[in-house]
Structure 1
């Protein structure tokens, strides 16, 4: 992967790590499913009026939007609202790299090289070290929901690869359009119409700022860059970069939420960085072309 592409991936990592703080603050202020629905509504509208649809299958775009917008963020937002710490969420969610590799192998025939597998294993060991340090802070249900969210992200990554050479921003924007209606319907059904309407009546500039960061820098800008990278490199090369999200997530949680970072967590972070270095410095030995 060229250096400029590596730097773009690191920008995405920084934005997504910070985004966990914004999610945590937003689900404390608003119903979590409503937050997800408003996020993707703001990401899609008005952008869809200025950006042409991607040259990809309609159903593929919809499937991408449902897996990324509905499945991933309904599960993640609920998990955080139900007690999953922001820092630990940023850690557990990175198991998506392994779901991505497995699904890319099954759906696209992309076979990761041994150095990619080795690097991912080292990085995952680092995540395990940090997660064990923090596991006592959360319950099993939110933890399990975060793992399901990670699987949904892995599916979204593979669907992006399957789309082939399409405009990344267009794919992201039109995929986002598939998410608001299902998310808002789920919000009214599960969180209650009265609760949702009360939250909307009290919606102010602070809430708008929290949603806007998730919609624009985290979804459109970072998501667009991420799709662009996935369309140009094998999923097993790009996905491991998100193993650095816990680093920026822990740092953001420490600086903005006062979350403690222990020596054990620092050790785990160093393992994550070492694993990523092993992964990105070696090309896969055999990679199938994009479908």
Structure 2
């Protein structure tokens, strides 16, 4: 990877990591489902009018919008208001790689390499230590929500792969168009229409800044750069870079909100990322088109946020 592209890639990882702190800022006064709906509304409009619809069936775009908008980022944002620190939320979302590997082995009967199995074991042990060594930065409800987001990430990968799309960025933008309405409907179903009235009244400058950051630097710019890099370089070069996202998320959470990890949690996070790294780093001879189609959007998410 060239020096300029490496700098650009690290910049995007920093944006995606910092985004978790911005999510926390945006949902301080506004319900996370509504803040997430605003994020995707701004990311889609007016960009969608300048990007041609990808050549895929509508059901893939609709299901992608539901899973990506509600299942991943709606739940991930909600997990923070439910008691997870923004940094820990980012780390736990990375467990999607562990869940995806388990689905492949136990459901699809796929074979796995010794390296990936070792990585899974390390990540699983580290995950258990991270959760049990909490100093108040992990709650049961928050853990349930972020794990729902991680499972949704795996489902999203299946949707993208099944669509056979080769237009990752366009697929992402058009799919996101189906996220805002379900997010609003879900929040109203849970709390009634007064939740929308409360959001309008509570909306402030911090909420606006947070939502704009999530919509433009994180979503549109970040995904555009990332897909560009995926076209230029093999996954063995690009995929490991996503492990920087939780690192930047933990750092920004510390400086913005004073989020602290216990000593055991610091060790657990480091080991967890090592384990996930062993899982996501593809073999050089297996970086095929299907891997690209799945990961070009999926890593957005590791998180673009």
TM-score range normalised by the length of the shorter chain: 0.7 to 0.9
SS of 2:133's equivalent in the other structure is: helix
Following superposition, the deviation at residue 198 of structure 1 comes to 3.3
Quote how far apart the aligned CAs of 1:235 are.
8.9
Q: Aligned runs of 1:115-264 on 2, under 5 Å?
A: 115-134=115-134, 136-225=136-225, 242-264=242-264
Q: Where does structure 1 lack aligned partners over 5 or more consecutive residues?
A: none
**Counterpart for residue 90 of structure 1:** 90
For structure 2, the 5+ residue unaligned runs are 294-305
CA gap 1:221/1:157 in 2 versus in 1, 3 angstroms: farther
Task: Report deviation, 1:103.
Answer: 4.6
Q: Which residue does 1:81 correspond to in 2?
A: 81
Aligned length: 290
CA distance, structure 1, for counterparts of residue 210 and residue 51 of structure 2: 24
Instruction: Indicate if the aligned counterparts of 1:161 and 1:231 stay in contact, CA closer than 8 A.
Output: no
CA contact (8 A) 2:135 2:261 kept: no
Partner Cα separation in structure 2 for residue 235 and residue 108 of structure 1: 22
CA contact (8 A) 1:113 1:285 kept: no
Question: How big is the shift at 1:264?
Answer: 2.7
Q: Distance in 2 between matches of 1:163 and 1:232?
A: 22
Write the distance in 1 (CA, Å) between the matches of 2:49 and 2:180: 16
Deviates more, 1:252-261 or 1:216-225: 216-225
Q: Tell me the distance in 2 between the aligned counterparts of 1:148 and 1:203.
A: 27
The worse-fitting range, judged by mean Cα deviation, of 262-271 and 185-194 is 262-271
Q: What's the CA shift for 1:278?
A: 4.0
Are 2:16 and 2:218, in contact at CA under 8 Å, matched by a contact in 1?
yes
Deviates most, 127-136 or 107-116: 107-116
Equivalent residue for 1:268? 268
CA contact (8 A) 2:239 2:280 kept: no
- Aligned partner of residue 161 in structure 2, secondary structure: helix
> Secondary structure of 1:174's match?
helix
Determine helix, strand or coil for the equivalent of 2:28.
helix
Relative distance call for 1:114 and 1:34 in structure 2 (3 A) is same
How far residue 188 of structure 1 moved from its aligned partner, in angstroms, is 2.5
SS in 2 for 1:178: coil
Aligned to 2:32: 32
Alpha carbons 2:75, 2:148 under 8 Å: kept? yes
Contact 1:74-1:183 at 8 Å conserved across structures: yes
Q: TM-score scaled to structure 1, two decimals?
A: 0.82
Q: Does the C-alpha gap of structure 1 residues 126 and 232 become closer, same or farther in structure 2, counting only changes over 3 Å? A: farther
Q: 1:150 to 1:191 in 2, by over 3 A?
A: same
After TM superposition, give the deviation of residue 207 of structure 1 in Å.
1.5
Aligned-partner SS, 1:134: coil
Q: Equivalent residue for 2:71? A: 71
Instruction: Give SS of 2:283's match.
Output: coil
Aligned to 1:47: 47
Q: How much has 1:277 moved relative to structure 2? A: 5.3
Give the distance between the partners of 1:13 and 1:241, measured in 2 at CA. Answer: 7
2-structure distance, mates of 1:18, 1:177 = 24
